[in-house]
Amino acid sequence: MKLLNIDYEKFKLKNGLEVILHHDSSLPLVAVNIWYRVGSSNEKKGKTGIAHLFEHMMFQGSANVPKEVHFRYIQEAGGTLNGSTSFDRTNYFEKVPSNFLDLALWLESDRMGFLLPALTQEKLANQIGVVSNERLERYDNQPYGLAWEITISNLYPNGHPYSWPTIGSMNDIKSYTLEDVSGFFKKYYSPSNAVLVIAGNFEKDIIKDKVSKYFEDIPSTNGTNNNFDPGSSSSNVKLDKDIFIERNENVQLERVYFAWHTEKAYGPLDNSLDVLSDILAGSKSSRLTKHLVYDTEMAQDISAFQFSGKYDGHFMLIATAKPGIPLNKLKAEIFKELENIARNGIAQKELTKSKNMIKFSFINSMQNFDVIADHLNHYNFYLNEPNSFNYDLKRYEEVNNESIIKSVSKYLTNHHVELQIKPIDKKQNV
């Protein structure tokens, strides 16, 4: 699709910073998006959550930017901004009116090069408080909020970089010192470990000088990026038996989580597993939703997804039982359907529906410069080619009955993790 063919120019500065430019003058806006090749998968067990805590510290000011003003300057310019941390990477992004591009580049370059002089114990203590509350608000105090953490810590082997959640454990979060934070910066925040994308309305003739002006004098540190070595192939990570976990929580309905090892991002069946999740539980007419939520009303809701990262991936299926319906009954129905697909495949119509939804979502993602910028960085990171929108769409168009059958029989018949969360038995508690 012509629409998805995104022109870009890619080059490297002397300090190793990779730069990707995409020009589009249809709106007076410009997006700046930086990916640092570091995420929670670079952490070690017992020292988790620092990649994310560090992301917070990047908003606490740098040598020439006082605390609290990073947000203020961008908002004053009419821009939006944020950052996020995942297993594989940390990103920082701003979208500003195009005449404020310099401001965004100045702020990003100051913290890339000159964060440490502004680091204080007071700021660290403050952000440890904020991040502890983020953990409480988003996980500990949410119904079923610990399910992801429990699932991955049982699914991935001890020490595997995806076996702990990006937010980190509360004890680890509270343990960090200034030394930890500055060590992390020196190790991972070198310009040679980052990629800068600028997408949108900028002055073509001076953009490269502008990038050099702000970024070229930032020294590259010698920190090595000692990423996890997945060994021969991460897809070899396998469970040798089913793992069953049962928990009682302060919830009303019983819910079950199933997780299977699958494969990493852009692996041969990653696309089919995505489409499979849609065919199973992506819409009202999808197989499990229709059968369990609509026809029999055994479940209140059901969802499925393929998670895939740089090192590994897994498939998850989550179902909430209607009051009075035992989870094992839901389980039996779910496994019956998986078996059915492995044996009989799926209908052409099911594929068409999913593919059309996916195609629309690609077109939809072309609406914002900030989304395009983040995608360019995403494709550059995983595929080493920023302009991979059409490649990615084609990957989904190529999914067929055989590859769906294969993705079920190769992965979803293997050993899995099953987590059951049930209400606390009030009688026991009295």
Partner 1 sequence: MSEILDRSKKPGPRGDIKFNLPQIERFNLKNKLNVLFVHKDNLPFLRFNLISESGSKFDPKEKKGLANLFSMVLDEGAGKYNSIELSEEFEILGSRLNVSCFNDNIHLSLQTLTENLDRSLELLATVILQPHLDEKSFEKERRKILTTIKQLQDSPEDIADIAFDRIVFGEENAYAFPIIGYTENVENISINDIKYIYKNNFSPANSTLIVVGNSTKQQLEEKLNIYLSDWKSANNNNEFSLTSGGENLSIYLIHKEGSVQSEIRIGHLSGKRNDKEFFAKHLLNLILGGQFSSRINLNLREDKGYTYGATSRFNYLKGASHFFVSCSVGSENTGNAINEILKELTEIKNGITDTELEFARSSIIRRYPGNFETHGQITANLASLVLHSLPDNYFNTYIDNIRKLKIEDINTAAFDNIHPDRLSILVVGDKNLVLPQLRGLNIAEIIQPDMWGKI
Q: Applying CB under 8 A, which of residues 7, 9, 68, 398 lies at the interface with partner 1?
A: 68
Question: Segment near partner 1 (CB under 8 A), from 71-79, 154-162, 262-270, 303-311?
Answer: 71-79
Question: Segment near partner 1 (CB under 8 A), from 34-42, 176-184, 213-221, 401-409?
Answer: 213-221
- Does 7 sit near partner 1 (CB under 8 A)? no
CB of 183 to partner 1, least distance (A): 23
CB nearer to partner 1: pick between 9 and 297: 297
- Does 216 sit near partner 1 (CB under 8 A)? yes
- Does 77 sit near partner 1 (CB under 8 A)? yes
Q: Where are the alpha helices (DSSP H) in 203-325?
A: 207-215, 270-281, 287-288
Tell which positions 313-332 bind partner 1, by CB under 8 A. 322-323
**What are the angstrom distances between the C-alpha of 346 and each of 116, 268, 283, 411?**
56, 19, 16, 17
The C-alpha angle 125, 127, 128, rounded to 5 degrees, equals 65
Residues forming a β-bridge with 35: 91, 195
Count of residues interacting with partner 1 (CB under 8 A): 81
Task: Report how far residue 307's alpha carbon sits from residue 54's, in angstroms, rounded to the nearest whole number.
Answer: 24
Residue type, 303: S
- End-to-end CA, the chain: 64
Asked whether the beta carbons of 381 and 373 are under 8 A apart, the reply is no
Structure tokens at 291: 């059968």
CB of 323 to partner 1, least distance (A): 7
CB nearer to partner 1: pick between 77 and 239: 77
CB nearer to partner 1: pick between 209 and 242: 209
Q: Applying CB under 8 A, which of residues 12, 63, 159, 326 lies at the interface with partner 1?
A: 63
- Does 428 sit near partner 1 (CB under 8 A)? no
CB nearer to partner 1: pick between 12 and 138: 138
Structure tokens at 187: 């190790």
Task: Report how far residue 327's alpha carbon sits from residue 420's, in angstroms, rounded to the nearest whole number.
Answer: 8
Q: Applying CB under 8 A, which of residues 366, 400, 401, 409 lies at the interface with partner 1?
A: 366
CB nearer to partner 1: pick between 279 and 334: 279
- Does 3 sit near partner 1 (CB under 8 A)? yes
CB of 281 to partner 1, least distance (A): 13
CB of 2 to partner 1, least distance (A): 11
Give the position of tokens 């369990």: 292
- Does 171 sit near partner 1 (CB under 8 A)? no
Tell which positions 269-298 bind partner 1, by CB under 8 A. 283-285, 290, 294, 297
What contacts 387, CB < 8 A, 6 or more positions away?
5, 6, 7, 8, 376, 379
What contacts 107, CB < 8 A, 6 or more positions away?
65, 70, 73, 74, 94
How remote is the C-alpha of 358 from its chain's centroid? 18
- Does 248 sit near partner 1 (CB under 8 A)? no
Phi, psi of 222 (to 5 degrees): -90, 5
Tell which positions 80-99 bind partner 1, by CB under 8 A. 80, 95, 97-99
CB of 270 to partner 1, least distance (A): 21
Task: Report how far residue 348's alpha carbon sits from residue 341's, in angstroms, rounded to the nearest whole number.
Answer: 13
CB of 196 to partner 1, least distance (A): 15
Torsion-angle region of residue 407: left (phi > 0), alpha (psi -120 to 50) or beta? alpha
**What are the angstrom distances between the C-alpha of 154 and each of 79, 203, 242?**
41, 51, 10
- Does 132 sit near partner 1 (CB under 8 A)? yes
Question: Segment near partner 1 (CB under 8 A), from 63-71, 185-193, 232-240, 340-348?
Answer: 63-71
- Does 251 sit near partner 1 (CB under 8 A)? yes
Structure tokens at 390: 């059409």
